Every structure is written in C-alpha cells, then in structure tokens.
C-alpha cells in the first residue's frame, strides 16, 4: 500500500499492518506502521511535483489510456503526466473526455504510452494559471490546428522553448508597463524574427522587421504591402566580436543620421547635437597615427576636403574651407571673404604702430620638457594689442589661443606703410 491507496475517510485506512492501522492491532506493530507511513510520504515527496491520485489506468493504444469515472477535472487538457509501466514516460494531455470512462489522449515526449501501464501521476500545478504561474501555457495556433503549449515542468511557464507555426499576422494588445517588464525570445534563420506594422503610418513607413542570419543582424523596412525591402542597418560579427556596422547595406547614397534630425545639412553621415557636447568626438591613443583622415578620391580638378558653415544647417553660410589646388600643388586653408558678404568697405587705419607693439617671444613649453619656442606670441599679451587675433574662453580654466592668420592683413598694411615711407624718403633725396 502507498499514499495513492490512502482514503480520505480515516476509518477506511485499516489494512493489516504495516500498511494500515486497524482496531486492536498489537502494540509491537505500531512502530512498523509509523515507519511505513514515513517511507510512503517520502516516496510521494520525491515524485513531486507529480502526484499519483490512485487512479488505475488502462492502456488503449500508443497515445491513449482510460480511467474509471469522470476524472476530466483531475486530468485537464494541457496537463503534464507521468506514465509508469514496463517503462516510464512523460507527456502532455491533448484531449480529456468522459463517456463511459474518462479517455485521455497524450503526446509523449518520446516513445509511446508504456506497455503494461499500471500507474499515472499528474503534474500538480496545472490549474488556475496566471501571469506568474509555473504551469502549462496554451497558445492558439494561427493556422487553425490544435493548440500548442509551452512546457513548464520547473520554473516559469516560458522557461522552455516552443516552436509554434504562425502563418499570419498577430496582434499583441497587452503591452508591458515598462521597458523591462518582459522579453520575447524568437529564433529563425531566414525569415524576420520580429516585425511591426503601423496601419496609420505614412507610405513606406508601415512595416519594419528584424532578421538575424549567418551572424548578421539586419534592420529592414518593407513596403506597405509587406513585400520587397530595403536594409537600413546591419551588424556583422564573428563569434563575440562585432566586425562592422553598416548604414545602409545596399550601397545606395542615403543619409545616415545621429542625434536630432532637424536642420541637418546634406551629407551621407549626419551628426547633430543640442547639448553642451561635441556632435562628433574622435580619439586615438597612438601618436604616430592620424586621428582623422579625410580622403577626396578625385584625380582631376581641385579637391575639397573640409567646409566650415554657420547659421541654420538647412541654409548655411560658408565661412571657410580646406582644399587642394592641383595646379599649384598646395593645400589651401580658405577663409570666406566674398565682397557680397560685406558693407561699409573702407581703407584700414595705420597698422605699423600696432605691429611694433606686438611682443615676439622665446620660451619653453611646460608640458614638453626640453622644447623651446624661438619665435611666438603670448595670447594674453597679444590681446592687449590685437584682440581680434585672440580667442578668450568663457571658462577661466581653459587656455587662451592665437589665430596667426588674423595678423596677416595687419602685416600687409604695415609693409605698405613702410613702402610709402621709403618712397617718400626717395623723393626727398632726389
């Protein structure tokens, strides 16, 4: 006798010792009965979470058995069962119906309903499922076939993989309350893992999907009919190393944008920020390697490398550029000086006296021991004479800087003044 044979009526548990506690039993049988009951309780616990209700099964065929009485509530569709006979097998119930007897259809994990079936135990947690239950979850198949189930022998109901066949679009209406409320784990090799359709979106913005194939992640948009696609982003990796990130991957010259999109100038890669941070920051830990390389591949005509723009990026004003003059063989650093940008044009005041006030210094750099600068300027001293040639930072902790190009027009004016004096002296001597 085991726990499966115990009765819920106390007086009925009166089998001969040690399997029961009959009236008038000898004192020396009490220990045997207690020890037998302890063993049976332990045996039942070791089989947990499956429980044997003491129902005697009769094998019908490879995937069916029957039980006496209406036991459909005890053995519902979706429940996991343990079947013991010549061998022991596990499966799930796909049909449970009562006629003259309760007929149970099962899908075995492997093999068939054991021959010489003598015992059946049912998974204990198969009713009253909720979002955090550890029971079996039923999924209705989209193509009208029989329901599909996830297995939950242990842990959360979605702890084991399932492979439903979906043949149409599906709608999820119970959105999570936060970004970390759950995950959807999907697996496929050729078709989209996840797709989104927004029926109210503008043309060509209604369908988006994601694909993982051959260690590449593709982010793609399809046309409104759901056919055809253009890949906008791909991430390729080998093992755990990301090899490249491409935008887009079909070679078309569309823009790639980082940050806000408003008022971004034309360009294949666009970066814009409204924060107190650079829109683009580059770093290099190797002194001998260039931190930034700009390559214009044209082999005829002049090459333009960099353009400097101000005002709104949708309609900017060109303020300068860096280019290569192929005829002269020189790189030119250009500052915009078009007459169309100027008004109130007049001759400058004398510059020679100002040039004479500029103090040309020799000094050593603090952060480069042993280095010596023979001819250069000190920003704070130059600002007293030519303030427009000095950049003064807003933060006192930052360093002042000098733009020597601002001195060129001043030197030109000073040379002109000297030449005028020379010409004057020539006339006096003549």
Q: Are 81 and 75 in contact (CB under 8 A)?
A: yes
Question: What single string gives the DSSP state of each residue in 396-416?
Answer: TTSPPEE-GGGHHHHHHHHHH
pLDDT per position as a tens digit, 325-337: 988 899 999 989 9
Asked whether the predicted pLDDT for residue 219 surpasses 90, the reply is no
Q: What DSSP element (H or E) covers 32?
A: helix 30-47
Provide mean pLDDT across the span 228-254. Answer: 67
- At 142 the pLDDT is 45
- At 180 the pLDDT is 42
Provide mean pLDDT across the span 198-202. Answer: 61
SS3 for 238-280, per residue?
Answer: ECCEEEEEECCCCCCCCCEEEECCCCCCCCCEEEECCCCCCCC
**Cα dist from 283 to 227, 291, 292, whole Å:** 43, 6, 9
Antiparallel, parallel or unpaired: β 119-123 and 50-51 = antiparallel
What is the rounded CA–CA span in Å between residue 202 and residue 402?
52
| Percent of the residues in the chain that have a pLDDT greater than 90, as a whole number | 43
For the ranges 69-83, 193-207, 326-340, 397-411, the lowest mean pLDDT is seen at: 193-207
- At 260 the pLDDT is 59
Asked whether the predicted pLDDT for residue 246 surpasses 90, the reply is no
Task: Please choose, from the candidates 52, 106, 103, 111, the residue with its C-alpha nearest in 3D space to the C-alpha of residue 86.
Answer: 111
- What mean pLDDT is reported for the chain? 79
Asked whether the predicted pLDDT for residue 307 surpasses 50, the reply is yes
The band of 324, judged by pLDDT with boundaries at 50, 70 and 90, is very high
**Sequence ranges of the domains in the chain:** 3-123, 190-252, 255-278+295-346, 352-429
pLDDT per position as a tens digit, 363-383: 999 988 888 999 999 999 999
Provide mean pLDDT across the span 91-110. Answer: 94
pLDDT per position as a tens digit, 127-184: 443 333 444 445 544 444 444 444 444 333 333 445 555 555 555 555 545 444 444 5
- At 74 the pLDDT is 92
- At 152 the pLDDT is 43
Asked whether the predicted pLDDT for residue 213 surpasses 50, the reply is yes
Q: Which of 7-11, 44-48, 347-351 has the highest mean pLDDT?
A: 347-351
The band of 362, judged by pLDDT with boundaries at 50, 70 and 90, is very high
- At 164 the pLDDT is 56
Tokens of 302: 């002049």
Q: Which residue has the higher pLDDT, 264 or 248?
A: 248
Provide mean pLDDT across the span 303-326. Answer: 88
The pTM of this model reads 0.46
Q: Which residues pair with 120 in a beta bridge?
A: 83
């Amino acid at each position: 006798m085991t726990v499966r044979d115990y009765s819920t009526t106390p007086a009925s548990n009166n089998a001969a010792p040690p399997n029961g506690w009959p009236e008038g039993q000898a004192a020396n049988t009490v220990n045997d009965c207690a020890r037998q009951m302890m063993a049976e309780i332990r045996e039942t616990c070791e089989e947990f979470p499956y429980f044997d209700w003491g129902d005697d099964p009769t094998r019908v065929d490879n995937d069916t058995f029957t039980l006496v009485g209406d036991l459909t509530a005890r053995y519902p569709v979706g429940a996991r069962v343990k079947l013991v006979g010549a061998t022991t097998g596990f499966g799930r119930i796909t049909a449970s119906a009562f006629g003259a007897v309760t007929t149970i259809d099962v899908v075995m994990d492997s093999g068939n309903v054991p021959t010489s079936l003598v015992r059946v135990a049912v998974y204990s947690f198969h009713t009253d499922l909720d979002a955090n239950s550890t029971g079996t979850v039923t999924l209705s198949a989209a193509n009208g076939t029989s329901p599909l189930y996830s297995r939950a022998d242990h842990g959360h109901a979605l702890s084991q993989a399932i492979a439903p066949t979906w043949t149409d679009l599906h709608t999820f209406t119970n959105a999570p309350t936060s970004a970390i409320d759950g995950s959807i784990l999907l697996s496929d090799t050729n078709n989209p893992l996840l797709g989104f359709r927004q029926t109210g979106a503008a043309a060509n913005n209604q369908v988006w999907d994601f694909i993982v194939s051959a260690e590449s992640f593709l982010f793609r948009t399809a046309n409104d009919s759901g056919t055809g696609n253009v890949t906008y982003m791909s991430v390729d990796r080998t093992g755990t190393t990301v090899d490249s990130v491409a935008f887009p991957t079909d070679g078309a010259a569309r823009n790639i944008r980082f940050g806000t999109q408003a008022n971004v100038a034309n360009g294949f890669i666009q970066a814009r920020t409204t924060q107190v941070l650079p829109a683009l920051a580059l770093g290099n830990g190797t002194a001998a390697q260039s931190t930034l390389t700009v390559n214009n591949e044209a082999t005829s005509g002049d090459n333009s490398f960099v353009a400097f723009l101000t005002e709104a990026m949708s309609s900017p004003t060109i303020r300068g550029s860096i280019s290569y003059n192929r005829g002269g063989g020189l790189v030119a650093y250009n500052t915009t000086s078009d007459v169309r940008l100027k008004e109130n044009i007049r001759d400058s005041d004398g510059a020679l006296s100002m040039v004479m006030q500029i103090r040309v210094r020799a000094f050593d750099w603090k952060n480069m021991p042993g280095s010596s600068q023979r001819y250069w300027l000190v920003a704070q001293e130059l600002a007293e004479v030519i303030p427009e040639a000095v950049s003064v930072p807003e933060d006192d902790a930052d360093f002042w800087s000098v733009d020597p190009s601002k001195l060129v027009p001043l030197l030109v004016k000073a040379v002109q003044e000297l030449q005028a004096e020379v010409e004057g002296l020539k006339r006096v001597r003549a």
